[in-house]
Chains A and B, each alone.
Chain A
Amino acid sequence: MALTDADLVARVLLDDDHHAFAELVRNHQSSVRGLLRQLVRADVSLADDLAQETFLRAYKNLRSFRGEARFSTWLYRIAYNCFREEARKRKELVGIHEAQLEAQHDPQTTDPALRHDLVRALQLLPLHERTAVLLCCQNGLSHDEAARVLEIPLGTVKTNVLRGREKLKRSLAAWGPN
């Protein structure tokens, strides 16, 4: 039977078990790297550097994880803080590298032209709306969890998600269901 995040965290805390921490990284690397790639506008190497920093900070501060929120929510919060620090350092984040993002993407059922438009529409959203939409609509966090990750009031998260979705819907109106 697969161990839960709580079991793995306990093993790391009790025995400093690097294998258990590796399992945690394996379980969450995709979602954390995906979120960061969207936040840094698809600069894959920068996103992966930030993801690595996220997991290293998580390891160092694992004792502060009390299990009140999901482990993934706690990780998103660290990832978002890493991103904010990097953004402050760079003042403005790197530009849109759509070709790089699309080259990395697993070709799925989605029409490539639709993907292109969706990526572009997401990139055009203001950062606070993009982050709220990504956390809630793409990564499945509740509004309350997103508020904790972003350290902003619940009402602000709801407003940002609503506005972001409205803009996305308008941008993708031609693709929507009839």
Chain B
Amino acid sequence: MDENLQEDWLDARLRDEAAYIDDGGFTAHVVQKLPAHRVRHSLRAVILLGVTVVASVVAYLLSGGGWFIAEGVTRFALLPLPVIWLCAAGATVVVMVGGLAAAMSKTGGRLR
């Protein structure tokens, strides 16, 4: 009983010791030192998308209306069939490896 009384007394004294410390400008000082407002994630996405669209339009105009794409497709279509198959298989492997790597990095290396 005495032991419990002593414990309660000690806890009460320790809590008394933790008296409230007046702010006294502390909060204002901390807020003043905070880094400047971060660009919001949604805003960041808009900026990235905007820059991509502008860059695409500029590239399209500078390349003479994208004629090189049509020319590239035509040249590719004229290649022998085995080469086209080989290119398709290579592209499939690259995409699969990329997907696998992304999945592994998300799960910390475990695939289950």
Q: Give residues in A with beta carbon < 8 Å to B.
A: 15-16, 18, 21-22, 25-26, 29-31, 33-34, 37, 48, 51-52, 55-56, 59-60, 104-106, 108-110, 114-115, 118-119, 122, 133-134, 137-139, 165, 168-169, 172, 175-177
> Quick check: A165 and B19 within 8 Å, CB to CB?
no
Chain B, interface size: which category? 20 to 34
> Quick check: B9 and A177 within 8 Å, CB to CB?
yes
Instruction: Say what secondary structure dominates the interface of chain B.
Output: helix
* A29-B26 CB under 8 A given contacts A52-B33, A137-B11: yes
Cβ contact of B5, chosen from A56, A139, A165, A177, cutoff 8 A: A177
> Quick check: B34 and A169 within 8 Å, CB to CB?
no
Q: How far is the CA of A125 from the CA of B23 in the complex (A)?
A: 28
> Quick check: A108 and B19 within 8 Å, CB to CB?
yes
Q: How far is the CA of A122 from the CA of B14 in the complex (A)?
A: 10
> Quick check: B13 and A110 within 8 Å, CB to CB?
yes
> Quick check: A26 and B33 within 8 Å, CB to CB?
no
* A25-B21 CB under 8 A given contacts A172-B13, A176-B9: no
Q: Give residues in B with beta carbon < 8 Å to A.
A: 2, 5-7, 9-11, 13-23, 26-31, 33-35, 37-38, 40
* A137-B14 CB under 8 A given contacts A16-B37, A18-B34: yes
* A133-B14 CB under 8 A given contacts A34-B21, A106-B19, A176-B6: yes
A54 nearest CB across to chain B (Å)? 9
> Quick check: B13 and A114 within 8 Å, CB to CB?
yes
B31 nearest CB across to chain A (Å)? 5
A-B contact list, 13 entries, CB within 8 Å: A18-B34, A22-B27, A25-B27, A26-B27, A30-B22, A34-B18, A48-B26, A51-B26, A110-B16, A169-B10, A176-B10, A177-B6, A177-B9
> Quick check: A52 and B30 within 8 Å, CB to CB?
yes
Q: How far is the CA of A42 from the CA of B5 in the complex (A)?
A: 29
> Quick check: B37 and A119 within 8 Å, CB to CB?
no
Q: How far is the CA of A168 from the CA of B13 in the complex (A)?
A: 11
> Quick check: A56 and B34 within 8 Å, CB to CB?
yes
> Quick check: B26 and A21 within 8 Å, CB to CB?
no
> Quick check: B9 and A21 within 8 Å, CB to CB?
no
